[in-house]
Amino acid sequence: MIDRQNLQAFHPFTRLRSLLEDLEPGPAPLGASEPLALSIGEPKGQPPAFVAEEIAANAAGWSGYPPARGTPAFLEACRGWLERRYDIAPGILDPQRHILALPGTREGLFFATMATVPQQRDENGAPPVVLIPSPFYHVYAGAAVSAGAEPVFLPTSSETGFLPDYQSVPEEILERTALCILCSPSNPQGAAANRWQLADLLTLARKNGFVVAFDECYAEIYTRTPPAGALDVVDQLGGSLDNLLVFHSLSKRSNAAGLRCGFAAGDEKLITALNALLLVGGAGVPRPILAAATRLWQDDGHVEDIRAFYRQNFEIAQEVLGNRFGFSIPDGGFFLWLDVGDGEAAAKKLWQEAGIRVLPGAYMSVADSEGYNPGAKYVRIALVFDAEVTKAALGRIAEIL
Ligand SMILES: Cc1ncc(COP(=O)(O)O)c(C=O)c1O
């Protein structure tokens, strides 16, 4: 049971801190004086230099409140990128009606959950349901319980291609479902859903009257071909955006997690409802930031370099790990999801012997009613440092485990 009055206790990094707090870290790789945090998925590279230039050039905008939905130029840049990146017919996305600036996908997903979960219980007194893959980004479950919904976790594993099996969700749950959140490419496993899987999910949502929030914040960090996104299947399902919201972000795409800028796109009714909530409780995106973000969404060149950086780190992982710990290069993202038998024990050992912090998979997922936790065997390792550090750290990890 996740307690909305005590979300801190459920936070993966709180749990990691209490796991390691009484243990002395061992000597870190490459003789570094500080332990090495491979637990946090935070880019270490910088955004392009033009970000600082745009912010400075638009400094007059700091005195005003952020515009309600984003500037027309920003919304147009988002539309342009979506139409370059996805196979969606021009004319379907109207920037003014179907796109909304967000101070990050985290905030967007949280408020979208508030906007889509009804306040009422059903005639049997049962709460609305939010379907969440397990393991998952902790915000999904935090948002679900904050909205008064019951989070229903759909376990994923190597056997399911690390994606939830929506066809096996019981009818009784589907009837109560208000929202389904799918992360593709997924954090932590880097698995991407294909067009058929995305179309099947959207069809199921329309049939049962629930909303799907597609968290596509890793859409640009891929290792081989660009992963499909929900907008790729809109045309084949009749060209409607009903029941659909996609979430995108500059945090990973442009090494700009601190900029706090993303956007949502999709169903006009949902965008309007999300905007209404953000106008009550959201910070908005300031004009100078929107100016920089407009340039970032217009430019794909810098993303090539960022993608190449993570691709090189995955190649290093392949060299060092081979096929041990169930490793193979994933579709996208920048995490290793290694089967180490017991993720908590491995996290303690890596900390004590090599000053390396990794996240036990159990802290990203929850146990089912029989006590089975699909993340328990795993650790998540963020490949965000440069090639030299990555190689040294993975070498130590392989030695120790
Ligand atoms: C799966 C997933 N979704 C959303 C986010 C939030 O990203 P942001 O709010 O920076 O766009 C993260 C960040 O780590 C993430 O891993």
Is 2 within the bounds of a domain? Answer: no
49 exposure class (CB count in 10 Å sphere: 0-12, 13-18, 19+): exposed
Check if 41 has its Cβ closer than 6 Å to any atom of ligand 1.
yes
Closest CA to 186 of 312, 350, 395, 334: 334
Contact 320, 394 (CB under 8 A): yes
The Cα 91–Cα 133 span in angstroms is 32
The Cα 385–Cα 260 span in angstroms is 21
- The whole-number pLDDT of residue 44 equals 96
Is 1 within the bounds of a domain? Answer: no
Q: Which of 40, 217, 263, 337 to mutate for ligand 1's pocket (most ligand atoms within 8 Å of CB)?
A: 217
Instruction: Say yes or no: 23 and 94 in one domain.
Output: no
- Which residue, 256, 274, 301, sits at the end of a domain? 301
Instruction: Say yes or no: 215 and 270 in one domain.
Output: yes
Span from the CA of 53 to the centroid of ligand 1 (angstroms)? 25
- Which residue, 301, 316, 350, sits at the end of a domain? 301
Instruction: Say yes or no: 250 and 384 in one domain.
Output: no
Q: Which of 44, 78, 140, 187 to mutate for ligand 1's pocket (most ligand atoms within 8 Å of CB)?
A: 187
- The whole-number pLDDT of residue 326 equals 96
When divided into structural domains, the chain yields a total of 2
Check if 267 has its Cβ closer than 6 Å to any atom of ligand 1.
no
Instruction: Say yes or no: 104 and 137 in one domain.
Output: yes
CATH number of the domain residue 246 falls in: 3.40.640.10
Span from the CA of 106 to the centroid of ligand 1 (angstroms)? 5
C-alpha 206 chain-centroid distance? 23
CATH number of the domain residue 354 falls in: 3.90.1150.10
Neighbour tally for 385: CB within 10 Å: 18
Give phi and psi for 204, each to the nearest 5: -60, -40
Q: Which H or E run includes 254?
A: none
Instruction: Say yes or no: 184 and 293 in one domain.
Output: yes
Ligand 1 atom closest to residue 260's alpha carbon, by position in its atom list? 10
Is 335 within the bounds of a domain? Answer: yes
Instruction: Say yes or no: 263 and 391 in one domain.
Output: no
Is 350 within the bounds of a domain? Answer: yes
Instruction: Say yes or no: 233 and 248 in one domain.
Output: yes
Instruction: Say yes or no: 368 and 393 in one domain.
Output: yes
- The whole-number pLDDT of residue 1 equals 82
Q: Which H or E run includes 101?
A: strand 99-102
Check if 106 has its Cβ closer than 6 Å to any atom of ligand 1.
yes
Structure tokens, 143: 């948002």
- The whole-number pLDDT of residue 293 equals 98
Check if 257 has its Cβ closer than 6 Å to any atom of ligand 1.
yes
Instruction: Say yes or no: 76 and 86 in one domain.
Output: yes
- pTM, two decimals, is 0.98
Span from the CA of 374 to the centroid of ligand 1 (angstroms)? 21
Is 330 within the bounds of a domain? Answer: yes
Domain extent at residue 18: 7-46+302-400
- Residue carrying the six token digits 């049971």: 1
- Which residue, 301, 323, 346, sits at the end of a domain? 301
Check if 183 has its Cβ closer than 6 Å to any atom of ligand 1.
yes
Asked whether the CA dihedral 292, 95, 205, 239 is positive or negative, the reply is negative
DSSP 85: H
Closest CA to 206 of 248, 164, 247, 234: 234
Pairing, β 36-37 against β 244-249: unpaired
The Cα 298–Cα 307 span in angstroms is 17
Is 39 within the bounds of a domain? Answer: yes
Check if 253 has its Cβ closer than 6 Å to any atom of ligand 1.
no
Is 295 within the bounds of a domain? Answer: yes
Structure tokens, 330: 């994933």
- Residue carrying the six token digits 């919904």: 149
Instruction: Say yes or no: 244 and 315 in one domain.
Output: no
The Cα 264–Cα 274 span in angstroms is 9
Check if 137 has its Cβ closer than 6 Å to any atom of ligand 1.
yes
Check if 215 has its Cβ closer than 6 Å to any atom of ligand 1.
yes
Span from the CA of 307 to the centroid of ligand 1 (angstroms)? 17
Check if 105 has its Cβ closer than 6 Å to any atom of ligand 1.
yes
In tens digits, the chain (401 residues) has pLDDT values of 898 999 998 999 999 999 999 999 999 999 888 999 999 999 999 999 999 999 999 999 999 999 999 999 999 999 999 999 999 999 999 999 999 999 999 999 999 999 999 999 999 999 999 999 999 999 999 999 999 999 999 999 999 999 999 999 999 999 999 999 999 999 999 999 999 999 999 999 999 999 999 999 999 999 999 999 999 999 999 999 999 999 999 999 999 999 999 999 999 999 999 999 999 999 999 999 999 999 999 999 999 999 999 999 999 999 999 999 999 999 999 999 999 999 999 999 999 999 999 999 999 999 988 999 999 999 999 999 999 999 999 999 999 99
Instruction: Say yes or no: 138 and 221 in one domain.
Output: yes
Instruction: Say yes or no: 227 and 335 in one domain.
Output: no
